[in-house]
Amino acid sequence: MDDTAFRETVNQAKLPGCSAMIVDRDGVRYSHASGERDAVAHKPMALDTKCQIASMTKAIVSVAAMQLVERGLLDLDAPIGDLLPDLADPQVLEGFADDGSPKLRPAVRPITLRHLLTHTAGLGYFFIHPEVLRYYGHVGMPVPGSKASIKMPLMFDPGDSWEYSVGTDWVGLAVEAASGKGLREYLAENVFQPLGMADTGFHDSPLPDGAAIHRRRGDGFAIEPMFLGGGEFDSGGGGLVSTAPDYARFLRMILRGGELDGARILTEESVAEMSRNQIGDIRAGYMGSSMPDLAAPFDNFPDQHTGWGLGFLINPEQGPAGRSPGSLAWAGIFNSYYWIDPTEGVAGVFVSQMAPFGDPGALESFAALERLAYS
């Protein structure tokens, strides 16, 4: 596989460091690591350098939820408030009074697990949605990593629209409630150990051998002290640390319909359900921004009416870098990205550690990786 164009793109992107892999159902087609995991202390990046995968956690926790659906311990369409009382009486934010207080009304229907998995519950993120940030400004900004940080009124009635959200954090709490185990314990026993993902897990503090989060400063980089673990709960929406090889094993499991190296963790039917558009004519994928220093507005495919499965963005048309219609994808806020193409039986993961999200160099490098996979 001639990776000259990919390596040239990475060099031109001037990233601090990155790791990347292309896989198919049978194994690894390509792997790459370059640069530094700490560009200030000049520590080299390796293929298996541990990185914060942030919202790439969501797909893994979605798989865990579907395992419990298979076992009859979770129900996709039952009111989730029966299991998670904090979601039992959802209120919709209709605006703000003159004194800044939020104007709320009861939601017309309950929140379900399907709503949470598809980001149609009405929840949001404070760094994406100005109305959520304004709400917190009135009631008090919650401590990062606290359960209060995922409690908020809804922006619309459940099922009526799509907005990227803390929904998968609540899915992680539902996994805990339904299984009787902590999320880190459940994932270790039911996902990471069966799949051989030995370097993936939740941690309470930054790892000394892990990659640092960088921000561009002139021609160089500064280190950002940003760590998404160690809070009041393990974040099912973004708390995992992993590596490119480990995440590639997860991608291969999805490509293989829920099985890898003889270990089946999901039925083919469940993987098919996760891979199917769940939101009808609603368009998914666009994210605005209330904090562009953390994440600028972003849209994977602005020219497509993208859908959403149970954990994945779905492109209905051919992707510009090669992926087939019906492929699955998402990303992590520190500029890590993946795609899964069930039609062609190929997937790829690109990991870097930079803020803000949507770095042009990282995005072009990821696109170059995808072009390499289909070359």
- Mean pLDDT of the region 89-102: 96
Give pLDDT, residue 224: 95
Our answer to whether residue 247 is catalytic in this structure is no
* pLDDT confidence of residue 147: 96
Predicted local confidence at residue 116, as pLDDT: 98
pLDDT (0 to 100) of residue 8: 98
pTM of the model: 0.98
Residue 114's pLDDT is 98
In this prediction, residue 124 has a pLDDT band, given cuts at 50, 70 and 90, of very high
All structural domains of the chain with their residue ranges: 4-374
pLDDT attached to residue 272: 98
pLDDT score at 81 = 98
Cis ω before 106 (30° cut-off from 0): no
Q: What is the widest separation between alpha-carbon atoms in the chain?
A: 62
Q: Which of 55, 179, 242, 270 is catalytic?
A: 55
CB atoms within 10 A of CB 85: 10
Write down the catalytic residue from 19, 50, 135, 164.
164
Residue 242 a catalytic site member? no
pLDDT for 133: 94
Q: pLDDT-derived band of residue 259, with 50, 70 and 90 as boundaries?
A: very high
Confidence at residue 32, expressed as pLDDT on a 0 to 100 scale: 98
- pLDDT of the residue at 66: 98
Give the 3-state secondary structure of the chain: CCCHHHHHHHHHHCCCEEEEEEEECCEEEEEEEEEEEECCCCEECCCCCCEECHHHHHHHHHHHHHHHHHCCCCCCCCEHHHCCHHHCCCEEEEEECCCCCEEEEECCCCCEHHHHHHCCCCCCCCCCCHHHHHHHHHHCCCCCCCHHHHCCCECCCCCCCCCCCCHHHHHHHHHHHHHCCCHHHHHHHHHHHHHCCCCCECCCCCCCCCCCEEEEECCEEEEECCCCCCCCCCCCCCCCEECHHHHHHHHHHHHCCCEECCEECCCHHHHHHHCCCCCCCCCCCCECCCCCCCECCECCCCCCCCEECCCCEEECCCCCCCCCCCEEEEEECCCEEEEEECCCCEEEEEECCEECECCHHHHHHHHHHHHHHHC
Q: With bands split at pLDDT 50, 70 and 90, how would you rate the model's confidence at 244?
A: very high
* Set 58, 62, 135, 352: catalytic member: 58
Tell me the pLDDT tens digit for each residue of 269-310.
999 999 999 999 999 999 999 999 999 999 999 999 999 999
Right CATH number for 4-374 from 3.30.365.10, 3.90.1150.10, 3.90.105.10, 3.40.710.10?
Answer: 3.40.710.10
pLDDT at residue 368, as a whole number: 98
Question: Is 365 an annotated catalytic residue?
Answer: no
pLDDT of residue 169: 98
Give the tens place of pLDDT for each residue, 159-170: 999 999 999 999
Q: Tell me the average pLDDT across 119-147.
A: 95
Residue 163, token pair as written in the block: 């907005």
Measured from the Cβ of residue 190, the count of other Cβ atoms closer than 10 Å reads: 18
